[in-house]
A and B are shown apart, each in its own frame.
Chain A
Amino acid sequence: MKLKQLEGLLGDLQQFSNPKAENSFGDVSNKVVADLGCGCGTLGAAAALLGAEQVIGIDIDSHSLEIASLNAEDLELDINFIQSDIKNLGWRGQIVDTVVMNPPFGTQKKGADMDFLFVALKIASQAVYSLHKTSTRDHIKRVALRAFNASSAEVLCELRFDVPQLYKFHKKKEVDIAVDLWRFVPKDNQGKERKDI
Chain B
Amino acid sequence: MRLLTHNMLSSNIKGVANGFPLRIEVEKVVEKQVELSADFLRNLFPKIEWKALVDAARTMGYAELAEEVDSSMLDSNEFLNKFHHALLELHLEEGALVCPETGRRFPVNKGIPNMLLHEDEV
Contacts and interface: CB of A to CB of B under 8 A. Distances in A.
Interface of A: 30, 32, 53-54, 56, 60, 62, 65, 69, 78, 80-85, 88-96, 195-196
The B interface, classified by DSSP as helix, strand, loop or mixed, is loop
Contacts of A95: 4, 7-8, 44, 47-48
B83 interface: no
Contacts, number: 81
Contacts of A65: 112
B72 to A, nearest CB: 20
16 contacts: A30-B39, A56-B8, A69-B110, A82-B112, A82-B113, A83-B113, A90-B10, A90-B19, A90-B115, A92-B7, A92-B8, A93-B7, A95-B8, A196-B10, A196-B12, A196-B19
Interface size of B as a range = 20 to 34
Interface of B: 1-2, 4-5, 7-12, 18-20, 32, 34, 37, 39-40, 44, 47-49, 88, 110-117, 122
A80 B5 CA distance: 8
